Chain A
Amino acid sequence: MTVSFLGLELRHPVTNASGTFDALAARAVFGDALLADFPFAAFVTKTVTTAPRQGNPPPRLWELGAGMINSIGLPNKGVEGFLAEDLPRLAELPVPLVVNVMGSSPEEVAALVRAFAERGEVAGLELNVSCPNVKTGLLMGAEPGETAALLEAVRPCTDKPLIVKLTPNCAEPAAVAAAAEAHGADAVSLINTVRGTAMHPGRPGEAWLGGGSGGVSGPAVRAVALAQVREVRGRVAIPIVGMGGVQSGRHARDLLDAGADLVAVGTETFRDPRAGSRIAAELAGIGAKSGTDSGVFTAPRSDFAHNV
């Protein structure tokens, strides 16, 4: 079930979501077996920023009945540390590498993109636009005008594929996607985590998370992802990487049917480090076309309406 995506030949349509798999740490824990059986068809890095970041103070996690909230705060070595220490080792992975970057102004993001523009190890760049523009105070991915200005600064810096990672925490993600497409984005990916928080069980009025609030992920956001992918597909022709609560081939199939070209897996990897390859195999088993075409009029078997 190989797929072509932005000129890359991928062995299946499942990648990781940015920030949900550290291939270098996983190699230390699982050894070279990780490389022999790498679970994703492409690898997307955790967000790289200009300067090193420590990330948010703990606690950083909160468990929900159908997912979790994270408030990690984008810890990373900064672009110089990443280029020197991580990129050479990530280049050993058996799949194409996409580097995710974030800055707090279009110029800063452009500089980050330029740092990777001539690096042969990097197949593409993903722009994390869930960051306020320091000049306007608006999230660069929350307003079509902000996204347009970002792409105008970044697009001339590279011929590599540019993927814009959309945030669900805005009025109209599909309008942002349309602006990204109009200004040269090669693809969009969605959804990022949905803003949420948890109150401290022992301290009334205080948030549990050290960062105050965080992002909800996991099955709790799957229906949101499905709706937003469908809306974005209605507005853009460029490829879509769909993600949000995917735990099975069935869930991946639904996102593809809603208009995604690739599917990314995030939170499920925390529960099952091989979730990517498991879901790809399940998806292959379901095949390219869902539903029944036998001509016999039957309803899917389920004990609640048509939930299967």
Chain B
Amino acid sequence: MTPHPTVSVSTAAAGRTAGSGADGRTIAPFGRRRLAVTGRREHGAYVVLSAADPDGPAPDAGQFYMLAAATRWGGGTDERPFLPRAFSVARRHPGGTLDFLLESVGPGTERLSELRPGDELWVLGPLGRGFVAPRDGRRPLLVGGGVGIAPLAIWQDMLGGGAPALLGFRDAAHAEGAALLRDARVATDDGSRGHHGLVTALLEAGLGRGVSASGPRKLGPADDGTWEVYACGPPPMLEAVRALCAEAGVPAQLALESGMACGFGACFGCVVPTRAGYVRLCVDGPVLDAAELELVA
């Protein structure tokens, strides 16, 4: 039996660097900044948009930015978009280049997907509260669905190894997004790549449950339940992850999504129900401890 790899979390990952706020989050510069798009890479159904942010702070994994194209923001379907759109940062490169993972599913993401190097972007961030290091020496296990894999990529970078990823996609075209992470097992809804089924089947196996000869293989030494799960994806997936982890007694940190107008606590529009009542996902999330939630709705 191989020993558990040591998990080292950089100080940036833990969000306790100089310039951090009193509550540990990395503070955003006050005001949106106009950044140059420096790259656009297609991964099947997704686009990775890169922007140079040399003067911006290094974000915590799980933090997000509000993005809007600097020109022609509006005039799409129903003359939208009007408001900026929230995106978890997918990666930060040395020198400050930020990567965002997009899928064109509406007027905002459609316009952002059109941007090419040399175009400009309004950016506000980093915003919100991100992931925190695993507790009690637990081993991180990343569970992502669709475009929700984005914050897991930067978290895997910061964790520095020993964080396997279980990723679920609709089909093979979407599963090309898996290239953003290392040590990934893939499930697709239509079986065109990897396990035919839901990513939660991979998680069940990872948690040492529901393992059968025909099912997904176990993950390894931490299958005894010493994982800490980090998940981001569509609400039904997050709810299934929450329920599985609760049943297995495994702690989980969930990055949720909600429509938001501002991203910095002004509009009160992005609330989600928790055991303590509604919380604004933009300032109290987007990462919430699964124990705070009755249910991911």
Contact = CB atoms under 8 A, between A and B. Distances in A.
B267 A72 contact: yes
Interface in A109-140: none
A22 B265 contact: yes
A159 interface: no
A37 interface: yes
B30 A66 contact: no
A64 B84 CA distance: 12
A70 interface: yes
Nearest to B81: A63
A64 B80 contact: yes
B280 interface: yes
Name the 10 nearest CB pairs between A and B, nearest first.
A25-B265, A65-B79, A61-B269, A270-B262, A30-B30, A33-B30, A31-B27, A270-B261, A274-B31, A60-B269
20 contacts: A19-B268, A20-B267, A22-B266, A25-B264, A25-B283, A26-B265, A29-B25, A29-B264, A30-B264, A54-B277, A58-B258, A60-B270, A63-B83, A66-B79, A72-B268, A75-B271, A269-B262, A271-B83, A272-B32, A273-B262
Residue of A22, A34, A57 with most chain B CB atoms under a 10 A cut-off: A22
B74 A270 contact: no
Nearest to B262: A270
Given A31-B27, A34-B30, A55-B278, A65 B265 contact: no
Contacts of B268: 19, 22, 46, 55, 60, 72, 75
What bracket does the count of chain A residues touching chain B fall in?
35 or more
B269 A65 contact: no
B23 interface: yes
Contacts of A66: 74, 79, 82
B78 to A, nearest CB: 5
Interface residues of B, number: 41
Interface in A3-42: 19-22, 25-26, 28-31, 33-34, 37
Nearest to B125: A29
Contact of A68 (B68, B83, B271): B83
Given A31-B21, A55-B268, A274 B30 contact: yes
Contacts of B270: 58, 60-61
Interface string A147-186: 0000000000000000000000000000000000000000
B88 to A, nearest CB: 16
B266 A21 contact: yes
A61 B264 contact: no
